[in-house]
Amino acid sequence: MDFQLTDEQRALKDGTRELLAGRFGRDRLRAAVEDPGPDRALWRELGAAGFFALRLPEKDGGVGLGLPEAVLVLEEAGRALLPGPLVACQLLAGVVDGVATGEKIVGLCEGAREPMLWEHPDGCDELILVEGARGRTSGAYRSAPDRVSCAPFASVDPLTPLARVLDLPRTEPVALDVPRLRREAALLTAAQQLGSAVRTVEMAAGHAREREQFGAPIGSFQAVKQLCAQMLVRTEMARSAVYAASITEGVLDVTGAKLLADEAAVRNARDCLQVHGGMGFTWEADVHLHLKRAWLHAERWGTAGEAEELLAAGLIA
């Protein structure tokens, strides 16, 4: 298999980065930290650009691309720390009317785990509950937000408000391939983690070139060089795994990709803090936002412990 990006895929990736740089720059990022509810205007702009309709057939008003292209787009979203239920809207664009165009925002809730957490509850128009883990009966149900009983739940990521679902009426079944949805949700979350890992490498390397100590850039010191090199290695390993899994779509491939991407995002953010020194721990620096987002995503759609168990079972089998 050839995992190299095509010219069209590179153009999609570059175009997405340019779009997000223009629509969600640092000023808008910082504004979102202060007011973390989904930005409806931004959501409609993303919908108009085909962000959510990427995988829908052209006859249905979509772009007609596949999972590898969705991974590239979500990677750039992770790099920019774009908030909101991006994975949910990407996967449910063909299920809930208005999601593909950005007119509606839909949330996903994992009913197979406790506590059941709902991202951005105040900004969603619909909620889809996904039940069933490995070896269990699965199903999906649709509910209006005003019928859901929930309570605020402390979120480590200031850009991602959470609520604990206390009661959700299972009144309207939705015809979804739940195992596939969970697998794709894990992969798209891994793509966001990859994007964050890429960005923290850039931030660390940029700071190491500019910050001087003892009359020389700190990037000339062996200890800092080693940190940055390790960050790059983790990122490229995760990139290879995520890109490959987007093509094979195998359960173990996706599981391994999520595990590597989570590790790269979390450890790279920590090392980026180390490179920045004391200023990296300040609220004004953006490094902590990447670390907090990485922690949050590492607990969604498969944790490290669950991934290790699944991969070990696969080796034994």
User: Would you say residue 66 has pLDDT above 90?
Assistant: yes
Q: To 10 degrees, the CA torsion angle through 186, 188, 192, 197?
A: 70
Q: What is the pLDDT of residue 133?
A: 62
> Helix (H, G, I), strand (E, B), or coil: what is residue 275?
helix
Residue with tokens 């951005």: 120
CB-CB contact of 17 with 76 (8 Å): yes
Measured at the CA of 219, the angle between CA 218 and CA 221, to 5 degrees, comes to 70
pTM of the model: 0.94
Which amino acid is located at 158 in the chain? P
State residue 212 phi and psi, 5-degree precision.
-110, 145
- Closest CA relative to residue 113, chosen from 186, 222, 199: 186
For 271, half-sphere exposure in the C-beta direction (CA atoms, 13 angstrom radius) is 29
CB-CB contact of 96 with 127 (8 Å): no
User: Would you say residue 67 has pLDDT above 90?
Assistant: yes
Q: What is the pLDDT of residue 111?
A: 80
Q: What is the pLDDT of residues 209-250, one digit of tens each?
A: 988 788 888 888 999 999 999 999 999 999 999 999 999 999
Which amino acid is located at 63 in the chain? V
Task: Out of 142-146, 163-167, 195-199, pick the least confident.
Answer: 142-146
User: Would you say residue 1 has pLDDT above 70?
Assistant: no
Hey, how many other C-beta atoms are within 10 angstroms of the C-beta on 226? Answer: 11
CB-CB contact of 196 with 81 (8 Å): yes
Residue with tokens 């772009």: 63
User: Would you say residue 308 has pLDDT above 90?
Assistant: no
More confident residue, 173 or 184: 184
Please give the share of the chain, as a percent, with pLDDT higher than 90: 66
Q: Which residues contact 156 (CB under 8 A, 6 or more apart)?
A: 292, 295, 296
What span, in angstroms and rounded, lies between the C-alpha atoms of 208 and 210? Answer: 6
What span, in angstroms and rounded, lies between the C-alpha atoms of 286 and 70? Answer: 25
Q: What is the pLDDT of residues 112-164, one digit of tens each?
A: 777 889 999 888 999 999 887 654 557 888 888 888 899 999 999 999 999 99
> Helix (H, G, I), strand (E, B), or coil: what is residue 167?
strand
Burial class (CB in 10 A: 0-12, 13-18, 19+), 153: middle
CB-CB contact of 261 with 197 (8 Å): yes
CA-based radius of gyration for the chain: 19
Distance of CA 239 to the CA centre of its chain: 14
* pLDDT (mean) for 304-309: 88
192: region left, alpha or beta (phi > 0 left; psi from -120 to 50 alpha):
alpha
Distance of CA 131 to the CA centre of its chain: 21
